[in-house]
Structure 1
Amino acid sequence: MNFNCLIIDDEETIGQTTSEYFNMFDVTCEYVTSYGAAIDFLSEHQVSLLLLDINLGEHSGFELCKKIRKTTNIPILFISARTSDDDILTALNIGGDDYITKPYSLNILLAKVKAILKRCESNLIPVKTSPCEQIQIDYNYRQIMVNQVPIKLKNMEFKVLSYLMEHTNTVISKEELFQNIWQSRFIEDGTLSVHIRRLRQLIEEDPDNPRFIKTIWGVGYVFEVKE
């Protein structure tokens, strides 16, 4: 099941109140009260945004943020009664997108969450490939969705794939990729080939016989989508 927001807060009253308020305004939301419950929830559900407390009993929100950031760039908003500069800087430096102090105003928090969700939605560029298959590239999370499954990309892999998909059904020369992705003409062909091979392994059913990322021998590559 998909949710707009997950609240992770060891104070159950805050989690429940905030969750109920969000759901009243059509932002689908659930809450959990521990590190372990958050991991379990995220393994079973698709979530678009996290509201994360720092204090989570035996664990901390900092630990959870670091773990989540290994696999996804989902927006994470820290919510905490702690107001020191050190806590705020730590939260932002490990991958937090914002830091909101308690007590917070529910209507202002909801507005922040809605704005981020809207921005995330507008950054999704779907590429329909067949009635039963879809590839999407998500600029906010810097990942791809293959058959609705999120897949994290390395920085250069993301740049190469997004450039090819932005120019769907257009042959892109190696020189153009070198210039626009690496911003250099002195990249070896092998470097590009490694990234193309990795991308094919991620999105193609048969990487040796690619359906989407085609090689145009002597020229470059094309992301092909047949009408």
Structure 2
Amino acid sequence: MVSEVVCRYLRAADFEVNSATDGPSGLQQAEAMRPDLVILDRMLPLLDGIEVCRRIRASWSIPIIMLTALGEEQDRIEGLEAGADDYLTKPFSPRELVLRVQSVLRRTGQENIPEGVMSAGDFTLDLSAHEVRLRGVALVLTGREFDLLAYLIWRPSKVLSREDLLRLVWGWEFGDLSTVTVHVRRLREKIEADPAHPQLLNTVWGVGYRFDPVPTGQGAVPFSPTGPVSSTSPAGPGG
């Protein structure tokens, strides 16, 4: 079985691993154990991986890597929109999966951003606490959304290509650029008053994205802020 091979390779890489055979038991384990990362098969019995991903993401910001035999672009986008941080199509190399796990946990790009508090316009972002506020209101972001916003705030008014963001935020030298597109869209839904007409996170057509902080007190109001930011910190094997 794929799960047995995955578990064997992850344990060989010094990760502590637990597995579940269906969606409901996987959700129960995630709630009880709060792992550092979830590897999720899209075709789970009883409750499919997309729904499991949505339910996990609604409650926690555990990083999620989704595995699937469905390789069409729309299938990948659906997984990312459900909240997956990464998406791997079967058949895949177990070694590649281990590297993806290490990349997600390491959050390579984040290492280059100075620790402490950054401000841009109405945004205040605390790297140490993994908390971001817009006009003093804490926003609920996933770990990857937090990292993406951190890089954009760190480089205000600078255009970053999707390739740049894939390398800086995900730590990948190459990969599916739709991953960046989906996360930008999800981030806009949380920081823009009107995500369809963004004022803060703007597209520079044919180039990339630019974060334009506006003067304090004149920015867009946050979209449906609901509580303190939720974000996972980097973790090592078995952490």
Q: Please, what TM-score do these two structures have when normalized by structure 1?
A: 0.51
Q: Distance in 2 between matches of 1:36 and 1:67?
A: 11
Instruction: Give the strand-richer structure, 1 or 2.
Output: 1
Q: Please state how far the C-alpha of 1:185 moved relative to its aligned partner.
A: 3.0
Relative CO higher for 1 or 2, CA cutoff 8 Å, sep ≥ 6? 2
CA separation of 1:80 and 1:153: change in aligned 2, threshold 3 A: same
Q: Distance in 2 between matches of 1:122 and 1:30?
A: 28
Q: What is the aligned counterpart of 2:129 among 126, 131, 137?
A: 137
Q: Please state how far the C-alpha of 1:20 moved relative to its aligned partner.
A: 1.7
SS in 1 for 2:3: helix
SS in 2 for 1:51: strand
Equivalent residues in 2 for 1:111-190 (5 A)? 111-119=99-107, 137-138=129-130, 153-154=139-140, 183-186=214-217
Tell me if structure 1 keeps the 8 A contact 2:39–2:64.
yes
SS in 1 for 2:9: helix
Q: Distance in 1 between matches of 2:32 and 2:17?
A: 15
Higher Rg: 1
Which residue in 2 is equivalent to 1:103? 91
**How many equivalent pairs are there?**
145
What do residues 37-89 of structure 1 show as CA deviations (whole Å, max 9, x unaligned)?
11111121121111111111232111111111112222211101111222112
Where in structure 1 are there 5+ consecutive unaligned residues?
Answer: 1-12, 127-135, 143-151, 163-181, 200-227
Q: Please state how far the C-alpha of 1:22 moved relative to its aligned partner.
A: 0.8
Q: State the one-letter code of the partner of 1:137.
A: A
What do residues 125-177 of structure 1 show as CA deviations (whole Å, max 9, x unaligned)?
79xxxxxxxxx6247xx7xxxxxxxxx9535xx8xxx9xxxxxxxxxxxxxxx
Q: State the one-letter code of the partner of 2:26.
A: A
Aligned CA-pair RMSD: 4.0
Q: Please state how far the C-alpha of 1:119 moved relative to its aligned partner.
A: 1.6
Q: Distance in 1 between matches of 2:54 and 2:13?
A: 30
Where in structure 2 are there 5+ consecutive unaligned residues?
Answer: 117-127, 133-137, 151-212, 229-239
CA separation of 1:41 and 1:120: change in aligned 2, threshold 3 A: farther
Which residue in 1 is equivalent to 2:12? 24
Q: Please, what TM-score do these two structures have when normalized by structure 2?
A: 0.49
